[in-house]
Amino acid sequence: MPNPARGWVFFFLNMHTKLFLTAAMGISLAVSAFYVAAQDTNKSRSTEGAQRVEVAPAKPTWKNGEQVLSQVAINAGVRTCKPLADKVNRYLIADNQSSGVLYLAPENANGRIFSGTLEIESGQGSTTYVSASYAPYGEVGCGVAYDAVTYWKESCAEVSTKILKELRPIGVLGNKITMLDGGPAMRMFLMPAGSGCVQIKKEVMY
């Protein structure tokens, strides 16, 4: 005959197992919800703490990039780095047509890093993209790092031996990008792009 006591024991253990699994699932869901809520809170705090960068565009008219960016810097209160910025802009733009934008801190622009982007059209028909960032140190010091990117229809070998023949090749950056020596703080990089070549000038000035 079946043993009733054994049946009750099986029923009790089965119910106990189901209750335990249900409780464990509930705890797991609660922990997951708490983790997601904590992530959302951290993201919200991170977003609230981030400061928005003010982008001041130059007027989209040619032959005024240098003048417009200089005036924008003055209006924002930039003093320490303005002489160096003007010098770099004159050096890069020369007599070519240009336009650009300036990225400024919303507060204390004179004491914080700012950056400018330029499009320069040369008389030879080439277009150069320039990104220059300026960082003040102290009341009178300022440093700048800029990249000037130009595309040539010629191959990188031709650019190196004809257009940039005054610069000395010093090897490759990795596998394909050739490096040319332009002095202690300047390098020229030549990157193949189809049948043409992308020239990237990198320089740091203090």
pLDDT digits (tens, 9 = 90+) for 65-94: 677 788 888 888 999 998 899 889 888 888
- Whole-model pTM? 0.68
- Whether 79 and 110 have beta carbons less than 8 Å apart is answered as yes
Residue 38, domain member (yes or no): no
Same domain assignment for residues 139 and 198: no
How confident is the prediction for the chain on average, in pLDDT? Answer: 76
Residue 184, domain member (yes or no): yes
Which two three-digit tokens encode residue 174? 């990795």
The pLDDT, as a whole number, for residue 174 is 94
Same domain assignment for residues 129 and 56: yes
Same domain assignment for residues 74 and 161: no
Same domain assignment for residues 174 and 200: yes
Same domain assignment for residues 133 and 158: no
Same domain assignment for residues 141 and 58: yes
The pLDDT, as a whole number, for residue 54 is 52
Same domain assignment for residues 161 and 144: no
Which two three-digit tokens encode residue 78? 């930039």
- Domain with 103 in it: 52-148
More confident residue, 187 or 90: 187
Residue 129, domain member (yes or no): yes
pLDDT tens profile 20-39: 444 444 444 443 444 434 44
Q: Of 148, 175, 197, at which residue does a domain stop?
A: 148
User: What are all long-range contacts of 58-63, with beta carbons under 8 Å and residues at least 24 apart?
Assistant: 58/99, 58/100, 58/101, 58/102, 59/99, 60/99, 61/99, 62/97, 62/98, 62/99, 62/121, 63/97, 63/98
Q: How far apart are CA 190 and CA 106, in angstroms?
A: 36
Q: Which of 64-78, 143-157, 187-201 is predicted least confidently?
A: 64-78
Same domain assignment for residues 175 and 204: yes
Q: How many domains does the chain have?
A: 2
Residue 97, domain member (yes or no): yes
Q: Of 133, 148, 163, at which residue does a domain stop?
A: 148
Is residue 12 scored above 80 in pLDDT?
A: no
Same domain assignment for residues 134 and 176: no
Residue 13, domain member (yes or no): no
